[in-house]
Amino acid sequence: MEFPVLFLGALPEETPALYSLMNYADIKGGTWYPQGGMYSVVKSMQQLAEGLGVQFRFNEEVAEIVVEDGKAVAVVTTQGRYTTDAVISGADYHFTETALLPPEYRTYSDQYWNKRVMAPSCLLYYVGLNKKLKNLCHHSLFFDVSFEQHGHEIYRDPQWPSNPLFYVSAASLTDESVAPTGCENLVFLVPVASGLQGDTESLREEWFQKIVERFEQHTGEEIKDAIVVKRTYSVTDFVNDYHSFRGNAYGLANTLRQTAILRPSCKSKKVSNLYYTGQLTVPGPGVPPSLISGEVVAGELIKTGIAR
Ligand SMILES: Cc1cc2nc3c(=O)[nH]c(=O)nc-3n(C[C@H](O)[C@H](O)[C@H](O)COP(=O)(O)OP(=O)(O)OC[C@H]3O[C@@H](n4cnc5c(N)ncnc54)[C@H](O)[C@@H]3O)c2cc1C
């Protein structure tokens, strides 16, 4: 019951009761899986958008939003310069403000950002096994050690967790398309504090050994010798790949003071045609809220007459 709360960005006693709706949705609605994994949802959305005339340009980093007289007039990318009627940034809010905009056009100061409480980051292991497992479910939460200790090491005294709770996803138990025949595709997820230093390969390996021991002990399945693929991903990767503020994985923490209108606004206060979507603005982190924020911004653009 408590584990999902770790992803919300605060200890259970500091999380608004409203978020018990997450547990309610899980328990009453059940857990659903899109065949092909989450990527198939992304592909379907791309197809839908293309059907409506949207053009995508992939692998093209935005390096600058050009502002003239309080209006975003162009976006400069690694491939060129595009003039714009409006800009919607779905990248990390802090990054857009501090790295893409001239300082005078930032809505929020460094002081504001430094006071934000971030949701955790995570330590991830993508593991391929050359055998099938019997004693495992698609979703497994390992609650076998102290929740209090792990929560303390994420929120009260941020440090690499000494003995963390973790989650294992074994999508290949449900979906044959995500692993070769006779193989298993596992993801191990350990929530850790955002902004942690010392994220090295050797530290990641040390933690992997710790959680695999527990995994083997509880499932009775030996996996160490069956690993044929292993990739790790953590705080520094979130910063390098996604420009994620303090390497957070789930945006701003859902504390009462960072909820609803107390979150960074989806409309810039300084640039008339600049909007923000995603997990650092309203309504909040997670896939459904991030999608809703896109819908909210689309509505705002339609109101201005820029979009139909
Ligand atoms: C391991 C993990 C598990 C999760 N599990 C769940 C879950 O079970 N349920 C749930 O609801 N949520 C989950 N989440 C959270 C969810 O994935 C996020 O809240 C959501 O994806 C955020 O969406 P977004 O659009 O704000 O950001 P993103 O999905 O990060 O999209 C931002 C995009 O902007 C791009 N970008 C950044 N900078 C630039 C630039 N300069 N130029 C061009 N593009 C740029 C990035 O490459 C990225 O593609 C999980 C997250 C992680 C990391």
Say yes or no: CB of residue 65 within 6 Å of ligand 1. no
271 C-alpha to ligand 1 centroid (Å): 24
91 lies in the same domain as 159: no
The pLDDT of residue 195: 93
184 lies in the same domain as 135: yes
163 lies in the same domain as 234: yes
Q: What is the pLDDT of residues 162-180, one digit of tens each?
A: 999 999 999 999 999 999 9
144 lies in the same domain as 73: no
State the virtual CA torsion across 109, 113, 114, 120 in degrees, nearest 10: -170
94 lies in the same domain as 178: no
Nearest CA to ligand 1 atom 25: 278
List of the chain residues with pLDDT < 50: none
- The answer as to whether 43 is a domain residue is no
CATH of the domain at 163: 3.30.519
CATH of the domain at 271: 3.50.50.60
Our CA angle for 216, 221, 225, nearest 5°, is 85
- The answer as to whether 28 is a domain residue is no
81 C-alpha to ligand 1 centroid (Å): 25
Say yes or no: CB of residue 290 within 6 Å of ligand 1. yes
Say yes or no: CB of residue 155 within 6 Å of ligand 1. no
The pLDDT of residue 2: 67
Last residue of a domain, one of 242, 258, 277: 242
Say yes or no: CB of residue 120 within 6 Å of ligand 1. no
Q: Are 270 and 70 in contact (CB under 8 A)?
A: yes
Tell me the sheet residues that pair with 168. Answer: 140, 188
- Which amino acid is it at 228? V
Last residue of a domain, one of 220, 242, 264: 242
216 lies in the same domain as 67: no
Q: What is the pLDDT of residues 180-231, one digit of tens each?
A: 999 999 999 999 999 999 999 999 999 999 999 999 999 999 999 999 999 9
135 C-alpha to ligand 1 centroid (Å): 31
234 C-alpha to ligand 1 centroid (Å): 14
160 lies in the same domain as 254: no
In this prediction the pTM is: 0.94
Q: Provide the domain count of the chain.
A: 2
Last residue of a domain, one of 217, 242, 267: 242
86 lies in the same domain as 145: no
The pLDDT of residue 1: 63
- The answer as to whether 69 is a domain residue is yes
Could you list the residue range(s) of the whole structural domain that residue 61 is in? Answer: 57-115+250-304
30 C-alpha to ligand 1 centroid (Å): 23
Instruction: Work out whether the CA dihedral 300, 290, 249, 228 comes out positive or negative.
Output: negative
Closest CA to 248 of 147, 121, 131: 121
